């Protein structure tokens, strides 16, 4: 049985790296008594995969974890959420527990975009970034790997960018299906000093908000929160929408 969990990673949990987070979930699921499926072999491990690793220093309200279950046992999905969260630390919390059809592809392979909020802690800085972004027809980021050098045009790869949450969510509604009410529980729409953006994502090309700030320079000490992850190419559907 396959299941997809949405979870949040808040506050100081931003300092926990991806591999440690994986180990955290393994122990959390054991404490909770979830009927996880295990791989075969001498050192069996729980079958799980994340939609996309979250870097150290980022918080999130839109992480996704695919797991394999033997069964749900005596509890419903929502009961499991309560059981798991009661055994977690208050900062890593499961917010959705969805049973998926057996032929569901891993969320990792479906990933097409991710939305973010970047706190810049300064209204002036926010205006400057907006001006920089919309004032240039193309913003080229050079991604260097050991093997290759690739030019990425951030103007194309970041379909939405706004300092106004309401503008951002209007734009989002035009091309995305996602759980707006969920987001509003964590986001204060009136908060100043933040930039919201939707970035294309995926295994081949993964656009991160940091790329834009790398080019723009001048700003340090910003705090990024991932809001959601979505599948699709030009029109997107949140992974929380099945």
Partner 1 sequence: MDRKLALERNILMSVEKPARYIGNEINMVKKDLNDIDIRFCMCFPDVYEIGMSHLGIQILYDMFNKRDDTYCERVYSPWKDLDEIMRRENIPLFALESQQPVKDFDFLGITLQYEMCYTNVLQVLDLSQIPLFAADRGNDDPIVIGGGPCSYNPEPLADFFDIFYIGEGETVYDELLDLYKDMRNKDYDRHEFLRKAAMIEGLYVPSLYSVEYDANGLISSFEPIYEELPHKIRKQAATDLEEYYPKNPLVPYIKVTQDRAVLEIMRGCIRGCRFCQAGMIYRPLRERNADYLKSLAGEMIDSTGYEEISLSSLSSSDCSCIKEMVYYLIDEFSDKKVNISLPSLRIDAFSLDVMSKVQDIRKSSLTFAPEAGSQRMRDVINKGLTEEIILSGAMDAFKSGWNRVKLYFMLGLPTETYDDIEAIAKLAESIAEEYYTIPKEERNGKVNIVVSTSLFVPKPFTPFQWVSMNKAEEFTDKKGFLMSKIKEQLNQKSIKYNCHDSEVSVLEGVFARGDRRCAKVIYSAYKKGCMFDSWSEFFDAGKWEEAFLENDIDPSFYTARERSTGEMLPWDFIDIGVTKEFLIREYENSKKAVVTPNCKEKCSGCGASSYLKGGCRF
Is there binding between residue 27 and partner 1 (CB under 8 A)?
A: yes
Supply the minimum distance, in Å, between the C-beta of residue 238 and partner 1: 28
> From residue 88 to residue 127, what is the string marking binding to partner 1 with x (rule CB under 8 A)?
-xxx------------------------------------
Given a contact cutoff of 8 angstroms between Cβ atoms, the answer to whether 216 and 161 are in contact is no
Count CB atoms within 10 A of the CB of residue 205. 12
Q: Is 42 in the site for partner 1 (CB under 8 A)?
A: yes
The DSSP call for residue 106 is P
x/- track of binding to partner 1 for residues 182-221 (CB under 8 A): --------------------------------------xx
Task: Please choose, from the candidates 92, 95, 96, the residue with its C-alpha nearest in 3D space to the C-alpha of residue 13.
Answer: 92
In terms of Cβ atoms closer than 10 Å to its own Cβ (0-12, 13-18, 19+), residue 208 is: middle
Q: Which stretch binds partner 1 (CB under 8 A): 8-16, 130-138, 143-151, 153-161?
A: 8-16
Closest by alpha carbon to 187, among 42, 62, 103?
62
Token pair of 188 as six digits: 């204060």
Q: Min. distance of Cβ 208 from partner 1 in angstroms?
A: 15
Candidates 10-18, 147-155, 211-219, 229-237: pick the segment binding partner 1 (CB under 8 A).
Answer: 10-18
At 195, list the tokens.
């930039």
How many other CB atoms are there within 10 angstroms of residue 95's CB atom? 18
Is residue 16 a contact point for partner 1 (CB under 8 A)? yes
Q: Which of 1, 18, 38, 76 binds partner 1 (CB under 8 A)?
A: 38
Applying CB under 8 A, among 1, 18, 23, 86 the residue interacting with partner 1 is 23
Please tell me what DSSP assigns to residue 189. Answer: T
What residue has token string 């069996």? 44
Interface residues with partner 1 (CB under 8 A) are: 12, 15-17, 20, 23-24, 26-31, 38, 42-44, 56-57, 87, 89-91, 220-221, 223
């Amino acid at each position: 049985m396959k299941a997809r969990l949405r979870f949040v990673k808040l506050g100081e949990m931003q300092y926990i790296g991806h591999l440690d987070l994986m180990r955290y979930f393994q122990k959390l699921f054991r404490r909770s008594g979830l009927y996880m499926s295990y791989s075969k072999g001498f050192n069996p491990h729980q079958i799980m995969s994340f939609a996309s690793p979250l870097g150290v220093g980022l918080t999130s309200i839109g992480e996704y974890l695919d797991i394999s279950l033997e069964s749900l046992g005596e509890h419903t999905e929502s009961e499991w959420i309560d059981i798991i969260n009661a055994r977690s630390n208050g900062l890593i919390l499961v917010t959705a527990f969805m049973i998926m059809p057996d032929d569901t592809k891993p969320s990792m392979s479906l990933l097409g975009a991710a939305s973010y909020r970047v706190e810049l802690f300064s209204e002036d800085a926010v205006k400057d970034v907006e001006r920089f972004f919309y004032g240039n027809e193309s913003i080229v980021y050079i991604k260097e790997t050991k093997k290759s050098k690739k030019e990425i045009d951030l103007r194309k790869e970041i379909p939405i960018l706004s300092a106004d949450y309401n503008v951002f969510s209007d734009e989002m509604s035009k091309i995305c299906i996602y759980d707006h009410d969920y987001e509003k529980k964590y986001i204060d729409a009136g908060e100043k000093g933040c930039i919201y953006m939707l970035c294309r994502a995926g295994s081949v090309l993964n656009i991160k908000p940091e790329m834009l700030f790398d080019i723009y320079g001048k700003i340090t000490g910003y705090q990024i929160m991932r809001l959601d992850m979505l599948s699709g190419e030009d029109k997107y559907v949140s992974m929380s929408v099945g």
